[in-house]
Amino acid sequence: MKTVKLTTMPDGGLLNQPYTSGKSISFSTCSEIRDGAAEMLTGLYYCREEVINNFAKFFSKRDGLDTDGSKTPLYNYEDMPKKKTSVAVHINIGNKDAAYIKSLDNEIKRSIKLLNHYERRNKWFLSEVYKADHDSRKSDLIYLFKSSKWWMTSTHTLSLYLLLIRLGEYELFDVIKKFTANPEVLSLFNKVRDLHDNHPERWNVLLDNRKKIYGERMQKEIFTFADAFTVKVDGIWTLCENRSCDKITKEKFAELCKEAGLEIPKDPKPSTRLQEVEREQEVERIGR
């Protein structure tokens, strides 16, 4: 695995892991790799929807105060990766032996297999992964993913992208090869506990019909269609459960699912933000 120099966030930027203890995986948006180096553009977050919320801030024109009144960084749009998605995957490993670190390398390679499976279907750039030579604690292992920019099309595709990376922890995905058929991959997903709540059979509908679903809308419009609270909970699960807060996307996706012969859940009764957050945190257990 090749190595890339990575400049990490200063002042405890690696400590924001609110939902986990022990080994955990968190994510940061990074700059594109240039001359063998990249830099983190955001802090590291365990919750996928928190990652999405922070990515949305690249488009934000708010006053620097978060919805709870606290200060929050507003990132520069000019710095955002545009040609290739670039994401750091951080694992706090503590003092572990070489065999354990090798097992993490294998986990990340399975993540690449899952991403590549969907990328080949759509003729996208095939994801690559590097080990990061970084300036943080020695107990921190960081991988840098370089992927197709189309994963950043929307809150939903970015959420799925991060979920697929997490799912690399399951050894059953070792059997996936370059030409493994999609039904075989779906059968593997069905063996993962609780993953049925994420409706993997609908992921193809999302990725194969990206242009039909999002149309000519700008990326900024898709990521900032509502306030920060809403963006945080509008990931792949909310879309597949027919709970997306983006009405345009929700209706188009449901229509395409029906055309594909996939039953879509009935339009649920409106739920409170707290209920949605609690449900998303429950779903976040998948991929730990």
What pLDDT score was predicted for residue 228?
52
With H, G, I as helix, E, B as strand and everything else as coil, classify residue 51. helix
Instruction: Note the pLDDT tens digit of each residue in 149-199.
Output: 999 999 999 999 999 999 999 999 999 999 999 999 999 998 987 676 789
Tokens of 61: 């024109």
> Nearest-CA neighbor of 91 among 161, 145, 20, 142?
142
Enumerate long-range contacts of 126-131, CB under 8 Å, 24 or more apart: 129/1, 130/1, 130/2, 130/3, 130/4, 130/33, 131/1, 131/2, 131/3, 131/4
Report field, pTM of the whole predicted structure over 0.85: yes
- Structure confidence at residue 287 as a pLDDT band (50, 70, 90): very low
- The distance of Cα 234 from the centroid of its chain, to the nearest Å, equals 12
**pLDDT, tens digit, for every residue of 199-219?**
999 999 999 999 999 999 988
User: Tell me, what's the pLDDT at 101?
Assistant: 81
Rounded to whole angstroms, the Cα distance separating 137 from 115 reads 29
Q: Which of 46, 288, 6 is nearest to 142 (CA)?
A: 6
Helix (H) or strand (E) run with residue 236 in it: helix 236-240
Q: Quick one: pLDDT at residue 226?
A: 57
Q: What is the pLDDT of residue 32?
A: 93
What is the rounded distance in angstroms from the CA atom of residue 139 to the CA atom of residue 54?
Answer: 25
What is the DSSP pairing of strand 3-7 with strand 140-148?
unpaired
The answer on pLDDT for 63 being more than 90 is: no
Each residue of 272-282: pLDDT tens digit?
Answer: 555 555 555 55
Summarised one tens digit per residue, pLDDT across range 7-52 is: 887 654 454 444 344 567 889 999 999 999 999 988 888 888 888 8
Instruction: Quote the CA–CA distance of 277 and 213 in Å, as a whole number.
Output: 25
At 111, is the pLDDT very low, low, confident or very high (cuts 50, 70, 90)? Answer: very high
Residue whose pair of structure tokens reads 């149309």 in the numeric block: 215
Mean pLDDT, rounded, of the chain: 82
Q: Which residue has the higher pLDDT, 61 or 216?
A: 216
Beta carbons within 10 angstroms of residue 255's beta carbon: 15
CA distance 117 to 209: 16
3-class DSSP state of 120: helix
Q: What is the mean pLDDT of residues 132-141?
A: 74
* Two structure tokens written together for 35: 């001359």
Least confident of 122-131, 160-169, 238-247, 255-264: 238-247
pLDDT at 3: 92
Whole-angstrom Cα distance, residue 72 to residue 77? 15
Task: Give per-residue pLDDT as tens, 66-84.
Answer: 555 555 666 888 888 889 9
**How much is the pLDDT for 33?**
93
Rounded CA-CA distance 242/49 in Å is 17
